[in-house]
Each structure stands twice: as C-alpha cells, then as structure tokens.
Amino acid sequence: MEEIVTYIGGGLADDKNGENSVGFSTSIHSNTFSYAYKFANAHLNGVVSTGFMNGDNDKVFVATKNKALIQVYVHGKEAPIQKIPIPEQLSCLALTHHNMKSIDQGSEHDDTKTELQLPWLLIGGSITGKLYVWEVCSGNLLFNKSVHYQKINKIEFSNNNNFLVTSSDDSRVLVFRVLELISNSPTIKPLHAITDHTLPVTDFLITSGINNDLRLVTASADSTCRVYDLNTSKLQMTLVSLFPVCSIASDPAFRTLYLGLDNGSIRQVNLFEIDSTKKLRFIGEKSRIVTLEDDPELKWSFMAHQQQENSSNTLKITSLDVSFDGTLLVSGDSDGKVLVCDIVTKQSLKSLKPVNGMVTYLKISPTLSKNFNESENILGTKKANNYRKVPQLKRTLADSNDFNNHELSMQIPENDYHYNILNNNHKMDYDFDEYLAQVAAQESNFKASPMNAGKDESPQLQEKLDKVNEAYSELKKIHEELFEEHTKLVNQ
C-alpha cells in the first residue's frame, strides 16, 4: 500500500491566470515524484479529490481562484481535462459518494463495482456566502442560496453523508441535513447554527462513528477550538490556544488533535491523558475549558516550519493531514512549503516540492498500487485514454420538469448477483466445494441410471448378450460355409 499526498497552492498574487501554479500528488514514503496539475490554484479548501482507489475514475476538482470556473483533472494528465463554467467564483468545494455498500451490506467479491463511477453531489461555497449543490451524474443544480454573510471557508460532509457542515469568515458554523438540501424545497433552514466563535472559523473536522457519536471540532482565528455534538450542537469542550488556529487535523482514532497555528508551529493536543490510576481520561471530562499552556520544552509542538530557511515572518500553518497509521503529520504553510513530520519525535522527515502561494489544499489518500505511476491501475487493467467526463453543471435551479426528465449519465453498477451469474461457470474458482458436490451428485446419478447399471451389475443381461453373440457367430459360420459351397457350385 502506498500513501499519496495531493496538495495545491493558492498561487501568487501577480499570477492571475494561474500559469505558474502547479499542484502535486506525491508519495509521503518514497521519493517518487508522480502527478502534477498545471494551472491549479484555489482558495483555501477550494479543491476536492476522489482519491486514488478507483483507477481511471478518480478526479481532482479545482475551483479556480479569480474565475467562475471548476477545472477537472485526472491523475496522470497535467492539464485539466475539463473546464466547467459556474455561476460565480467559488471559494471551497466538497464531494460526496453514494455509499451503496450500506444497502448491499458489503460485497463478498473484491472486484465488483458498487459505485456509479461519478460522485453523488458536488457542493460549492462562494466568496459571497452562497451555497451551491449539484448532482454530478446529471449536472442538475439542486440548491442555491445565500447561507453565510461572508466567504465560506470550508464545506464537509459527515461520514454517513447525513449532515453537511459549512464554516465561514462570518464566524458562524452551519449544519444542514443533506436530505433537505436535495429535496427541492423552497424553505430550507440549517439544522444548527453555531455562533460561539468571535472571529472567522478557519477550519473544522467531523469525527467518524455512528450517528449518535458524531462530533464537530471547529478551529477559529479567535484562538479557540470547540468540540460539539453534531446531532445536538451542544458544546462539549473548548480548547484555548496561545495563538490563532488556522488549521486542524485529528488522529484517525480521534485520540489527538493537531492545531496549525498562526505563528508557524503545530500544537499537538492529546485528548486523553493518563491519570494516577494509569487509566486514560478525556481531557474535557472535568473542565469544559482547557487552556493550552506554553510549551517551552517543545514537547507538544512541531517547529519544523519555523526552522525552514527563508521562512517569512507571517508564517501560518494552512493545511494539515495525518497519515493512514497516524504516525506521520503532513503540513502545508503560507509560504507554500509542505513537510512530512514524524509525530513521535516531532522532527521533519521530508520536505516536498513547494507550491506557489500558500498551501490551500492538502489531503492524504491511500492507494493499493505499489507504484501508482505505472500505466496500470489497481485493478490491473490498463489505463484508458477516454476519461469519463463530468456533465456540465447547470446554472439554474432544477424544477419539477427537470425531475420528470431526470436522466443520470452513468454506468450501471455490478453487484454480487451479477458477479455470480457472470462467473457461474467459474464457480469452482470461488466455491470449489460446491462444484465438487455437484460433480459427485451427477456421478452418482450416472451410476444409478439403468443404461450404465446394465454394464456393471446385470449378469443376466450379459449372459443373454453372450448367448446372442454365440448364436450370431454360429450363424455366421454356417453362412460362410454355405457361401463357400455356393461359390464352388457356381464355379463348377
């Protein structure tokens, strides 16, 4: 398995067309340089990637800075394969998938296709605070409304796709029900509006788990991080930092938070601490406000960005992500530098190729391919050159007529039933015991049938046959003798 980090910058101020802006996807473990995305610059969180697990169907969507345009990239092609015009300039993007395995209860075969090759919804947040919801397979615009007063900084779906959370410069965080957003209803209100922060909400994250256990962690320029129950929006804990928090990431098991700070350092906050009885205790258990103390010994701080050469005075950590095993922290700063740090030693292991402008998007994605730069994808099939294009995103809101003529441009997915039907004759490959039982049953049928039984088990019939044979040979002998006599007579 390999882990790939995709990161894209915000571009330089004087490069309005993004000609010098290049984003990259590269391994965080090995030194193989892999994919580049030219002309890719975006606002903070203005990029989404579908990852590296679906072969040719994986795409990167970039909401271009300074233009009302979404550029679509595929891994392996530097130039965008598609440029989709949109109603206005977007500041952030989010994607969600169908999660059809929840219906099929998981596939028993690895190679069955349970996805529709294109994501389900593409959400965009504009610099004016408008929220756009598009259905990717049809391009229909399902929702379009101003929800924030200022620029939307981040949009994210909860793991089960039930909730959509948006944060903005207006210091508010809104939680929407996804079902309501796509229902074509004229009156849609957020489920929760969180207004505890006093300055722009810069980043947030949603934990995974069942619906009742979902938590929302928000980070703000007011130097606080707040933990909420996503279902009730009840505040569970407040972390007070020494500096404004620009970005946030968490350990995959939500044991530790990593706060990217305004001074160029990253602060590690362990959410569980060991008490006197050697048991783990949640830090927000006793007091709901936890103030982070200064860390002069740098026990809980990553200073790698500050220690870099030519780092600017206004250095900020803009993007963070944690590796699959939770041991590496990848961070991007406002100078465009991307570093891979070991979480235990807090030391920088690797510095990746920098981007122009601040790092606006950074995401680690796993892939099964040993060398993802090869011409083969993870399923072992050769890469196709005819990429699956995204339908044009509509500019006007879908109406009832659009729903009546609603068409999805898609591949019909394969499920276990089709897999079994198609491989019926290869049953022995996946269920040899069943195949063998079938063969044994057929064999016993053969042995029991009278035609075959006669050969082995009926001596009477055999005796009769022998007698007939004997009589025949006797008759033949007589016939031959008669024929000989006849020949003699004719000759005479």
Partner 1 sequence: MSISSIILPGLTDRPTSVARILSTLKTTSLLINSSTVELTLLSKKAINYVQSRDEYLRWTGCHLIKIISVNPIVISNHGADFITSLMKLINIGTVSQLVYQTATNTILSLCLIIKGKQSLTREVLTPNLPGFINTLVKKLDLKDPQLLTNSVSILTILIRNHSTIFRPHATAYESKLMGVMKSKEFRSWEPVARKQIIESFVALSLVNKAASLQWSVVLKSVMEEFQSVFKMIFQTLLQPNEDAESDIINLIELLKLSLHDAESNMHNKSQFSLAPLSIDLNDLKTTGDLFDRIALLTDLIIGFITTPLNDTIVNYPIGKFVNIGELLINVSAQIHGFQKDLLIGDINLKHNLNFTFSKIQLQGIKLLNQLVKVLGKQSLGYFEKFTVFTELVIPMKTISVINPTTNKTVAKKILDVEQIKFHKFDMLVLLEFVGNLLKALDTGNLHDFSFILKLVDMTSLMVEEASYKDVIEKTKKPAADGSNKRTKKSKNSVELSDFIADASTLKIKTDVKLTTQVLQFYSTVLKNIPSLSVTQLTKVQHFVILSAMRKIYTAGNITNDIRQVLENFVVYQNTNEKYNLLPIIMNIMRQSGDDNNQLLSLLLNPRFPISNKREIEHYDKEQDEDLEIDECKIEEAKKPQIDLEELKRELREEVTNEVTEKLTREFEERESKRRKLSERLQTAEIETNPNVWTQQKFQKVEISKDVLPNDKEISSSEQRMVTETVVEVTTETKKTEDHDDENNSDFEIPDIEMDSSDEE
Task: Give whichever of 453 and 468 is closer to partner 1, judged by the CB atom.
Answer: 453
CA atoms of 465 and 480, how far apart (whole Å): 22
Among 79, 199, 274, 289, binds partner 1 (CB under 8 A): 274
**Closest separation between CB of residue 51 and partner 1, Å?**
18
**Strand, helix or coil at 318?**
strand
Task: Give whichever of 271 and 315 is closer to partner 1, judged by the CB atom.
Answer: 271
DSSP per-residue codes, 1-29: -EEEEEEEE---TT-TT-TT-EEEEEESS
**Closest separation between CB of residue 253 and partner 1, Å?**
5
Rounded to 5 degrees, φ, ψ at 424 are -50, -40
Among 17, 183, 371, 396, binds partner 1 (CB under 8 A): 183
Separation in Å, CA 345 to CA 289, 300, 342, 348: 28, 10, 6, 9
Sequence letter at residue 101: K
**Closest separation between CB of residue 256 and partner 1, Å?**
8
Distance of CA 349 to the CA centre of its chain: 26
Is 485 a residue that touches partner 1 (CB under 8 A)? no
Is 135 a residue that touches partner 1 (CB under 8 A)? yes
Closest CA to 364 of 352, 347, 348: 352
CA atoms of 268 and 280, how far apart (whole Å): 17
Of residues 114-133, which lie at the interface with partner 1 (CB under 8 A)?
116, 120
CB atoms within 10 A of CB 155: 27
Of residues 318-357, which lie at the interface with partner 1 (CB under 8 A)?
326, 343-344
Of residues 25-44, which lie at the interface with partner 1 (CB under 8 A)?
none
**Closest separation between CB of residue 276 and partner 1, Å?**
8
Owner of token pair 């006669």? 454
Among 291, 314, 396, 452, binds partner 1 (CB under 8 A): 452
Q: Which two tokens stand for residue 409?
A: 């441009």
Beta strand 234-240 pairing with 289-291: parallel
Q: Which stretch binds partner 1 (CB under 8 A): 11-19, 76-84, 206-214, 477-485?
A: 206-214
Q: Which stretch binds partner 1 (CB under 8 A): 9-17, 62-70, 182-190, 347-355?
A: 182-190
Among 29, 77, 281, 395, binds partner 1 (CB under 8 A): 281
Beta strand 59-64 pairing with 121-126: unpaired
CA atoms of 269 and 193, how far apart (whole Å): 26
Owner of token pair 């500019």? 395
Q: Which two tokens stand for residue 207?
A: 């934990």
Is 446 a residue that touches partner 1 (CB under 8 A)? yes
**Closest separation between CB of residue 404 and partner 1, Å?**
5
Of residues 66-85, which lie at the interface with partner 1 (CB under 8 A)?
none
Q: Which stretch binds partner 1 (CB under 8 A): 4-12, 75-83, 159-167, 304-312?
A: 159-167
Of residues 369-388, which lie at the interface with partner 1 (CB under 8 A)?
388
Site string for partner 1, 229-268 (x = CB under 8 A): --x---------------------xxx-------------
Sign of CA dihedral 371, 375, 379, 383: positive
Among 43, 59, 65, 113, binds partner 1 (CB under 8 A): 113
**Closest separation between CB of residue 179 and partner 1, Å?**
5
Extract long-range pairs of 167-171: CB within 8 Å, 24+ residues apart.
167/201, 167/202, 167/203, 167/204, 167/218, 168/125, 168/129, 168/200, 168/201, 169/200, 169/201, 170/129, 170/200, 171/195, 171/197, 171/198, 171/199, 171/200, 171/201, 171/220, 171/222
Among 30, 32, 195, 211, binds partner 1 (CB under 8 A): 211
Q: Which stretch binds partner 1 (CB under 8 A): 61-69, 157-165, 333-341, 466-474?
A: 157-165
Q: Which two tokens stand for residue 44?
A: 């903070």
Of residues 91-110, which lie at the interface with partner 1 (CB under 8 A)?
96, 98-100, 102-104
Rounded to 5 degrees, φ, ψ at 376 are -105, 145
Of residues 350-369, which lie at the interface with partner 1 (CB under 8 A)?
none
Task: Give whichever of 72 and 182 is closer to partner 1, judged by the CB atom.
Answer: 182
Of residues 393-432, which lie at the interface with partner 1 (CB under 8 A)?
403-415, 418, 421-422, 424-426, 428, 432
**Closest separation between CB of residue 383 and partner 1, Å?**
13
Task: Give whichever of 36 and 397 is closer to partner 1, judged by the CB atom.
Answer: 397
CA atoms of 340 and 359, how far apart (whole Å): 14
Is 461 a residue that touches partner 1 (CB under 8 A)? no
Task: Give whichever of 103 and 368 is closer to partner 1, judged by the CB atom.
Answer: 103
